Chain A
Amino acid sequence: MAVQALTQGKVLFGTAWTGTAPGPPGTQTVAGTITSSTDISFWGKSLSTPEAFEALDASGFGSGGFRNYVAGMAAMQGSITFFQDYAAGGPYATLSAVTLAKTLTYWDVQPVNGARSATNPSLVFAAFMTSFDFMTAATGEVMEVKVGLQVTGKWAHLIA
């Protein structure tokens, strides 16, 4: 058992999937990898991938005076913040046109950049990019780009 610092996180990105892809319809068993992925981990600064399960209020006369919730749909809105780089292979060249084109994208994030395992699982998901910063900063700061991600359909944790 060990608390883990995110010092070597992995962020892979692509627009195609080899295997059974995450995303719609949501009933599939996800497996495989991103096809021709681009590793943009180098520029990664932080990521947020809150897996949310809607709790629907089902309180009624029979709930004994307590609020009672039932599980609804699962949905995730994530974001990844990168240090901005306009050179080839960097966040601008890799992600800007895809955002504007409204392309469905695939993401694979991992605690440590390496092989998948039970102790180094991948979170894989299909998402549309909801925001992209071309140049957002104050003078003297390192330029960052925050990429908003609306996950669509099923996401999964893969250990192999």
Chain B
Amino acid sequence: MAVQAFTNASVLIGDLDASPFTNKVSSQVTVEMLDGTVCGTGGFRSYAPGMRNGELSAEGFADYAVGGTFEKISTGDGGTSTLMSMAPIAPGATLTAGDPCCFMRGPLDQMTVGPDGEAAGLAKFGIHIANDSVFAMGVVLHPIATRSTTASGTAVALTGPTLTQTLWAGLHVTTGSGGTLTVRVQTDDNAGFTTPTTRITFTATTGPVAMGEMKFLVPVNISTETHIRADWTITAGSFMFAVNAGIVQNV
């Protein structure tokens, strides 16, 4: 166990790896409470949980160069549904498959991407999204990295989902050219992946995926599956991408 300082993190917004520009993050899930107080409750209020909401935001410094915050997130993206992912990285460590993460898709409802800041200060950037999907807390399947050949990722222990749960996965492709990338999420009942089954297939792409992609597996009971991994095919060229997955209770 280790309480840790926030000194490093992976922050991905659509096709932007925002980690080098970010100095503050917030990721919160909330549950609405409905007052269900009736007669005879001894004078105490009672509540029932309602809808769940997710919010993700990141703040930091703007970069107007190619590949920076301004090029990747423009005013025209406002309101567009975008995948955002966050994963903590312990001081001195690197992000690896199996590390915890959260990810969510939703409209970019607050943006600071144009010139913003004080004279002689650093220009700022800021992003906030509200969810139009679930708020998933899960595991990193493929930390952001460049690949140029077809391969499979590291097996990560993750059991399920059951019929009352849904498997969600998110894909960020930040750069890519020269061929086609197809990413899949597979599960198996053993860490060696001797009998893998593809559960989710992302849309094939020939370049960066501007808003990222988040998909889910139609609820099915695969509670005997104990491991999960990313798997990808690259016809030619090279692609920088990241894959996350999480199981969310359907309630």
Residue of B whose beta carbon sits closest to that of A87: B1
Q: With a CB–CB cut-off of 8 A, which chain B residues contact A133?
A: 26-28
Contact B44–A135 (Cβ < 8 Å): no
| Interface membership of B194, Cβ < 8 A | no
Min CB–CB distance A92 → chain B (angstroms): 6
Report the separation of the CA atoms of residues A104 and B6 in the bound assembly, to the nearest whole angstrom.
31
Contact B6–A140 (Cβ < 8 Å): yes
Contact B135–A100 (Cβ < 8 Å): yes
With known contacts A134-B102, A138-B24, A153-B41, A102–B5 Cβ distance under 8 A? no
| Interface membership of B240, Cβ < 8 A | no
| Interface membership of B191, Cβ < 8 A | no
User: Which of B24, B30, B100 is within 8 Å of A131, CB to CB?
Assistant: B30
Interface residue count on the B side (C-beta < 8 Å): 42
Interface residue count on the A side (C-beta < 8 Å): 50
| Interface membership of A150, Cβ < 8 A | yes
Q: With a CB–CB cut-off of 8 A, which chain B residues contact A141?
A: 5-6
Contact B88–A86 (Cβ < 8 Å): yes
With known contacts A150-B33, A152-B46, A142–B27 Cβ distance under 8 A? no
Contact A135–B25 (Cβ < 8 Å): yes
Question: What 14 new A-B contacts, CB under 8 Å, besides A85-B1, A135-B102, A143-B4?
Answer: A25-B46, A26-B42, A27-B40, A42-B1, A73-B44, A86-B99, A97-B137, A101-B251, A130-B31, A136-B26, A139-B7, A139-B24, A142-B5, A153-B41
Contact B3–A102 (Cβ < 8 Å): no
| Interface membership of A37, Cβ < 8 A | no
Report the separation of the CA atoms of residues A131 and B27 in the bound assembly, to the nearest whole angstrom.
10
Most chain A CB atoms below 10 A, which of B4, B25, B31, B87: B31
Main secondary structure of the interface of B (DSSP, over half): strand
Report the separation of the CA atoms of residues A22 and B52 in the bound assembly, to the nearest whole angstrom.
24
Report the separation of the CA atoms of residues A84 and B88 in the bound assembly, to the nearest whole angstrom.
10
User: Which of A101, A130, A151 is within 8 Å of B30, CB to CB?
Assistant: A130
B186-213 interface with A by 8 A CB criterion: none
Q: With a CB–CB cut-off of 8 A, which chain B residues contact A153?
A: 41-42, 44-46
Write the residues of chain B forming the contact surface with A, with a CB cutoff of 8 angstroms: 1-7, 9, 23-33, 37, 40-49, 52, 86-88, 99-100, 102, 135, 137, 248-249, 251
Residue of B whose beta carbon sits closest to that of A155: B44
Q: With a CB–CB cut-off of 8 A, which chain B residues contact A142?
A: 3-6
Q: With a CB–CB cut-off of 8 A, which chain B residues contact A83?
A: 3
Min CB–CB distance A62 → chain B (angstroms): 25
Report the separation of the CA atoms of residues A99 and B161 in the bound assembly, to the nearest whole angstrom.
17
Contact A134–B29 (Cβ < 8 Å): yes
Contact B52–A26 (Cβ < 8 Å): no
Contact A136–B3 (Cβ < 8 Å): no
Q: With a CB–CB cut-off of 8 A, which chain B residues contact A106?
A: none
Q: Can you list the 9 inter-chain pairs with the closest CB atoms, starting with the nearest?
A: A26-B42, A137-B6, A26-B41, A102-B49, A26-B44, A75-B45, A83-B3, A27-B42, A101-B249
Contact B49–A85 (Cβ < 8 Å): no
Min CB–CB distance B213 → chain A (angstroms): 21
Min CB–CB distance A63 → chain B (angstroms): 23
Q: With a CB–CB cut-off of 8 A, which chain B residues contact A130?
A: 30-33
| Interface membership of A90, Cβ < 8 A | yes
Min CB–CB distance A98 → chain B (angstroms): 9
Min CB–CB distance B147 → chain A (angstroms): 26
Residue of B whose beta carbon sits closest to that of A143: B6
